Structure 1
Amino acid sequence: MPLLYIDLIEGRTPSEVGALLDAVHESVVEAFGVPPRDRYQVVRTHPAHEIVALDTGLGISRSSHQVIVNVVSRRRTRAMKEKFYELLATNLAERCGLDPADLIVSITENGDEDWSFGYGRAQFLTGELP
């Protein structure tokens, strides 16, 4: 069950945001093998001056359409992560017209004891979730 925080520069329509969220979710499902109902996404919009994302010396030219995806998840393999990065860039380019140069992704891993989906219980630990 990944929890995704998606930071955007303000100005996208609700349908554009919806398409972006669908593309992100499908990438997670395919790359990480999570069930389609494991969908937890939080969108945060910002004025352009609140997002500063330079190129880290890679020569990447970014536009005002940047998308920053932060994934909080159980441990994933290197191959799964690489597949996710590639799928995400492809899906967002094809379905949302996002230039892959405008996509930044970060993954933070945690363990089963770090999740509660309600009722004050850690469902991975109680056996309610596999």
Structure 2
Amino acid sequence: MPLVKIHVLKGRPPNEVDVLLDTIHDVVVQSFGVPTRDRYQILQEHEASHLRALDTGLNIQRTEKFVVLEITSRPRPRESKVAFYSNLTLALQDRCDVAPSDVMVSLHINSDEDWSFGMGNAQFLTGEL
């Protein structure tokens, strides 16, 4: 936890996908202080005709390396969120050659009763986590 959905255009080779997923996870661990084994990622590849992302009038240029992250998480401090955005763009640029202009993030916040990691339990409520 958090649950990270990553949307990209089709066409990245498998090794590039691996580096992308590892980089995103490393930044989640670093910025949100979650354990390394708290890794829940879903990568969805889209045809170019099925992924549209303009710039909300900010004059941000997008390329074929565009990445959208939807992150569902328990509440995080504002400072952690801001650090995450910055750390993410720096790491993706350094390790994946993805420009900061090609990174978009949306955080969805929920609470402890909204999570079950299996076994029919709400582990945050039962004290297992």
TM-score category (smaller protein): over 0.9
2:30 is the alignment partner of 1:30: yes
CA distance in 2 between counterparts of 1:90 and 1:6 reads 17
Quote the residue 1:21 is aligned against.
21
Quote the residue 1:49 is aligned against.
49
Q: Unaligned stretches of 5+ in structure 2? A: none
Quote the residue 1:63 is aligned against.
63
| Letter matched to residue 44 of structure 2 | R
> % of aligned pairs identical?
52
2:8 is the alignment partner of 1:5: no
| Letter matched to residue 93 of structure 2 | A
CA distance in 2 between counterparts of 1:14 and 1:123 reads 33
Quote the residue 1:83 is aligned against.
83
TM-score, reference length from structure 1: 0.98
| Letter matched to residue 56 of structure 2 | T
Quote the residue 2:108 is aligned against.
108
Q: Unaligned stretches of 5+ in structure 1? A: none
Quote the residue 2:97 is aligned against.
97
Aligned residues: 129
| Letter matched to residue 86 of structure 1 | S
**Secondary structure of the equivalent of 2:38?**
coil
| Letter matched to residue 121 of structure 2 | R
> After TM superposition, where is structure 1 displaced by more than 6 Å over at least 4 residues in a row?
none
CA deviation map 1:65-94 (0-9, x unaligned): 110011000000110000000010001000
**Secondary structure of the equivalent of 1:57?**
coil
TM-score, reference length from structure 2: 0.98
